[in-house]
Chains A and B, each alone.
Chain A
Amino acid sequence: MSPALLALVLTLPLLGALGAVAVGRHGGPVAVAAALATLAAALWLAVRVATDGAVSIAVGHWTPPLGIRLTADGPAVLFLATTAVIMTAVVLYAVHWITGPKAGADRDGPMVHTFWALLLLLWGALNVIFVSRDLFNLYVGLELASLAAVALVGIEGRRETLAAALRYLLFALTGSLLYLLGAALLYSAHGTLDLGLLAGQLGRHPSDLLALAAMTAGLAAKTALFPFHVWLPPAHAGAPPAASAVLSALVPKASLYILLRLWFDAEPDGAGPVGPLLLGGLGAAAVLHGSLMALRQQRLKLIIAYSTVAQLGYLFLVFPLVAAAGALDPAGGDAAWRGTLFQALSHALAKAAMFLCAGLIIEAAGHDRLERLAGTARALPITLFAFGLAAISLMGLPPSGGFVAKLLLIEAAFERGAAAWALVVLLGGLLAAAYLFRPLAAAWRSPDGDAPGFAPVARRRQALPMALALAALGLGLFSAGPAELMGGLP
């Protein structure tokens, strides 16, 4: 049963994408059907894995090193389920957005012919990445995800979004090539691409250091780690909100996920103390730089995009925290591991909620400039409430998933006696409160007498970001189940 569920989670989005290309401009219903079916399969798979343990498939019954192994373990199903929840919300949101201001308008154009297929191909690629244990298969997944993501950034065809998409493409391709170089070196040295077979072998060969360095650099560029983040703000702020939600919430997590698997599943030795410290330092720089830049932006979507740069930074603190904890105290490593996964999942839910909120605000107000957002809270109360709830998770306030994440990271830092990392987490939380307060304050201001009105937005569409924000909150309220699925450091 469970292997069949895993097969469905992997193939349903792909089938949906092909169906969407087949039906042309009527892809919306196909995407909705594919999304709901995949969501059901992903949630069911998560329940099965939670009760019966990890599910593993050898594709075509060929076992590694000849074949490819796909494994849905605890962390994998958490990412699969979170992705399914976010994608479903985005699909339901986009059904109305794509037909334009006049609901039900008979619109034709490149957008309706490509958006659904690209979104579903991206979803399929993400699912592949979360379960694949094969370095080359992961590469193909990354390529599919990157190409679909780049196309989604430029899908509106405006000059500045095309420039942002091209810049994103150049960074993503460079990252892919570095990753591929590392995979080729590892295969030459060890005769296998399977992460399980490579476990404990990495570092035995002189070329492994170069392979690991190249793959880490490539994946870091794809995860927009400071200073490789320059492609992210224009791309995520320029894409249509439905795409931004997915791009900001999920796509950088895919490359980070591979990085985590590479470092902690394959356990390279000989990485030395310098690599983890460097990654942690750049992560800390990302937290501070991203937050300060978010404070200076005048447009809502740019604030949210720079916030992503900052929030991704926390995910790199795990490297120094675990590297230092490993030998001395495995419990500290476990806290850092779980904190990182909680941060990745709660940021995904909260950030997707925020971008959908921004999309609704833009639909209602026609723009996202802070100085002219006065009165938004009165026009879109549910949306602004959802934005506030998502903000609670990003700031790391209780009882959200972000709070659990930051608590665990701080705990790991103190157990390690490395309080400096805890300081980064606390400072990042304060800065997040500051940069998220600005749009909330702007929206709650009373409008001037002659302020332009707001177009109405259906309540059920406002419920979509609300559901995502509540999910981010729920990750903190009901953290025991996810924490158990995450397990300890692999």
Chain B
Amino acid sequence: MATPFDLALSLLVLVIAAFAVLGRHGFMAVVFFITFGLLLALAWLRLDAVDVALAEAAIGAGLTGVLLLVARSRLKALEPPLAPAPHPVLRAGAGVGAAAVTTGLVLAIPALPLSTGLQAEVMEQLPLTGTDNPVTAVLLNLRGWDTLLETLVLLAALLGVWTLAREIDWPGRAGRAHRTRPDGVLAQFGRVLPPLALVIGVYLVWVGGHRPGGAFQGGTVLAAAWIVTVMAGLLPAPRVDDRTLRTALLAGPVAFVVLAVAGLLADSVLVFPPDRAKLLLLGLEALLAVSIAATLAMLVFGAPEDRSGRDP
């Protein structure tokens, strides 16, 4: 049953989304986008989807917001863009397409059946999956093949960012050097926030076995701890060819793919035998959290850049 709070929240989500899309000022658009993500997380909470809410807040609002802010500050540093406005035909086409999809959705969504999807079937199989959290069961076990590929999507994104480095800057430290005033807000933040985030991140990974949480949410919080430390200038970003870094990036995906290959012994791929599933899932989540944290943080740091005279 929709409460007045739900209605107000829905309306607010729409208004903030409109501000994020229509805003002419880049910085404000990003701020509205982050607000939009947080409100959306609230909406997921209202729908009892705690895992989705956590992911939306951590990745949708937090990490994507940071990426957009970094992208904006770099765009500002460039000369004014020379790109011409899109062709009127293209703009009209995009408008017509968006209007058609929206109209279709307005007509289609009320006609959809009210169903709980496959919840009952998942709960039935839950004892065999090695976890008490149905979301973790679906993500890592029942549809683990999707999640395996998703972790590789993250890796592909990072490799894509690395292709943007200039040959003379390779293999340097990721991104630019960060200098902050030692008594500034960011430096203070950098000392207080990471220990807290570390504890919360590890807890989220651990708790994913029986309650909302897991490798993606926990990994994002761990990434945040690292990003703040580097942005505060307390630690340098790693070199892109650093062996420890590469190990951290690869640990989760390698464990996942090796598990998938091992499934061929049982004439399938990615088999979690019910009697060993709990241990396998726990180990996999831990390694995935490390890799997700490392990959997301490296995405924010960016490709190696000219650091001449700033970082020995």
- Which residues of A approach B to under 8 Å, CB–CB? 3-4, 6-8, 10-11, 14-15, 17-18, 21-22, 24-25, 57-62, 65-68, 70, 108-111, 113-114, 117-118, 121, 124-125, 128, 136-137, 140-141, 143-144, 147-148, 150-151, 154-155, 157, 162, 178, 181, 185, 187-189, 191-192, 205-207, 210-211, 213-214, 217
Q: Taking CB as reference atom, which chain B residue is nearest A147?
A: B156
B257 touches A18 (CB 8 A): yes
What string of 1s and 0s marks CB contacts (under 8 Å) between B251-276 and chain A?
00110011011011011111110000
Q: Smallest CB-CB separation from A24: which chain B residue?
A: B241
- Name the contact of A22 in the complex, choosing from B144, B250, B303 (C-beta under 8 A): B250
Quick check: B107 and A147 within 8 Å, CB to CB? no
Residues of A close to B121: CB separation below 8 A: 65-66
CB-CB under 8 A from A18, the residues of chain B are: 250, 253-254, 257
- Give chain A nearest CB distance to B255 CB in angstroms: 10
Q: Is the CB of A60 within 8 A of B156?
A: no
Contact indicator A108/B171 (Cβ below 8 Å)? yes
Interface pair B144/A59, CB less than 8 Å apart? yes
Task: Please tell me if B308 contacts chain A, counting CB pairs below 8 Å.
Answer: no
User: Could you tell me if B269 and A59 are in contact, using CB atoms closer than 8 angstroms?
Assistant: yes
Beyond A21-B246, A110-B163, whether A59 also contacts B105 by CB under 8 A is no
Please name 16 further chain A to chain B contacts, defined as beta carbons within 8 Å, in addition to the given A147-B156, A207-B112, sorted by A numbering.
Answer: A3-B264, A7-B264, A11-B257, A14-B152, A15-B261, A59-B263, A60-B141, A60-B272, A61-B266, A110-B303, A118-B160, A137-B143, A157-B166, A185-B112, A188-B112, A205-B111
* Chain B residues closer than 8 Å to A15, beta-carbon distance: 257-258, 261
A157-B156 contact given A7-B264, A68-B146, CB 8 Å threshold:
no
Chain B residues contacting A143 (CB-CB under 8 Å) are: 153
Bound: A141/B150 CA distance, A: 9
Measured CB to CB, the closest approach of chain A to B182, in angstroms, equals 34
Inter-subunit contact B115/A191 (CB<8 Å): yes
CB-defined contacts of B165 to chain A, threshold 8 Å = 109-110, 157
Q: List 8 A-B contacts (CB under 8 A).
A: A4-B267, A15-B261, A67-B142, A110-B162, A110-B164, A118-B163, A205-B111, A206-B108
Cβ-defined partner of A62 (8 Å) among B105, B117, B142: B142
| Chain B interface, number of residues (Cβ within 8 angstroms) | 60
> A244–B101 Cα gap in the complex (Å)?
33
Find B149's partner among A141, A192, A205, A207 (CB 8 Å cutoff).
A141
* Interface presence of B59 (CB below 8 A): no
Which residues 166-215 of B have a CB within 8 angstroms of A? 166-167, 170-171
Q: Does B312 contact A (CB under 8 A)?
A: no
The distance from the CB of B238 to the nearest CB of chain A, in whole angstroms, is 14
Residues of chain B with a CB closer than 8 A to A205's CB: 111-112
B44 located at the interface, meaning its Cβ lies under 8 Å from any Cβ of chain A in the complex: no
Closest residue of chain B to A6 (Cβ to Cβ) is B269
The 6 A-B pairs with the shortest beta carbon distances in the complex, nearest first, are A151-B160, A207-B108, A7-B264, A210-B104, A109-B167, A4-B264
Q: How far is the CB of B185 from chain A (nearest CB, A)?
A: 34
Q: What is the chain B residue whose CB lies nearest that of A61?
A: B268
Considering the complex, give the chain A residue whose CB is closest to the CB of B138: A66
A-contacting residues, B127-163, CB 8 Å: 141-146, 149-150, 152-153, 155-157, 159-160, 162-163
Question: Bound complex: CA of A62 vs CA of B257, how far in Å?
Answer: 18
A414 CB → nearest B CB, Å: 36
Q: For A125, give the chain B residue with the smallest CB separation.
A: B149
Query: With A15-B257, A59-B144, A140-B146 known to touch, is A185 a contact of B108 (CB < 8 Å)?
Result: yes
With A67-B143, A113-B171 known as contacts, the answer to whether A144 contacts B156 (CB < 8 A) is yes
Contacts of B271 in A (CB 8 A): 60-61
The reply to whether A140 and B170 contact each other, CB–CB distance below 8 Å, is no
B170 touches A7 (CB 8 A): no
Cβ A147 vs Cβ B269 within 8 A: no
Considering the complex, give the chain B residue whose CB is closest to the CB of A177. Answer: B101
Q: How far is the CA of A109 from the CA of B125 in the complex (A)?
A: 49
Q: Which among A60, A114, A214 is the interface contact of B159 at CB below 8 angstroms? A: A114
The interface residues of chain B, by DSSP majority, are classed as helix
Judge whether B264 and A207 touch: CB under 8 Å.
no
CB contacts (< 8 Å) of B146 on chain A: these are 68, 136-137, 140
Q: Is B113 an interface residue (CB 8 A)?
A: yes
Chain A contacts for B109, CB-based, 8 A:
207
Closest to B240 in A: A113
Task: Specify which of B164, B167, B261 is in contact with A8 (CB 8 Å cutoff).
Answer: B261
Contacts of A191 in B (CB 8 A): 115, 117-118
B254 — which chain A residues lie within 8 A by C-beta? 18
Q: Is the CB of A188 within 8 A of B159?
A: no
Closest to B253 in A: A18
Which of A6, A8, A66, A187 makes the CB contact (< 8 A) with B125? A66
A60, B142: Cβ atoms closer than 8 Å: yes
- B249 interface hit (Cβ, 8 Å): yes
Q: Closest CB-CB distance, B278 to chain A, in whole Å?
A: 15
Give B212-250 as 1s and 0s: 1 = Cβ < 8 Å from A's Cβ atoms: 000000000000000000000000000011000010011
Contact check: which of A65, A109, A207, A213 meets B170 at CB < 8 Å?
A109
| Contact call B159/A118, Cβ cutoff below 8 A | yes
Question: What residue in chain B is nearest A115 (Cβ atoms)?
Answer: B163
- Known: A8-B261, A66-B142, A210-B108. Contact between A21 and B250, CB under 8 A? yes
Q: How far is the CB of A466 from chain B (nearest CB, A)?
A: 30
Give Cα A435 to B108, complex, Å: 46
The answer to whether A113 and B170 touch (CB under 8 A), given A8-B264, A155-B163, is: yes
Neighbouring B residues of A111 by C-beta, 8 Å: 163, 167
B160 contact set on A, CB distance < 8 A: 114, 118, 147-148, 150-151, 154
Interface centre among B146, B250, B272 (most CB of A within 10 A): B146
Say if the beta carbon of B122 comes within 8 Å of chain A.
yes
- Roughly how many angstroms separate A148 CA and B258 CA in the complex, as a whole number? 21
CB pair B269–A70 under 8 Å, yes or no, is yes
| Min C-beta distance of A111 to chain B, whole Å | 7
The answer to whether B101 touches A121, judged by C-beta atoms less than 8 angstroms apart, is no
Given A59-B268, A113-B162, A187-B117, A213:B152 Cβ within 8 A:
no
The smallest beta-carbon distance between B264 and chain A, in angstroms, is: 4
Distance to closest chain A CB from B28 (angstroms): 23
Please, which residues of chain A bring their CB within 8 A of the CB of B261?
7-8, 11, 15
Once the chains bind, are B269 and A7 in contact (CB under 8 Å)?
Answer: yes
**Would A124 and B152 be within 8 Å (CB), given that A67-B143, A157-B164 are in contact?**
yes
Residue ID in chain A nearest B93 by CB atoms:
A227
Residues of B within 8 A of A151 (CB): 156, 159-160, 163
- Digitize B83-116: 1 where CB-to-A-CB distance is under 8 Å, 0 elsewhere: 0000000000000010001001101110111010
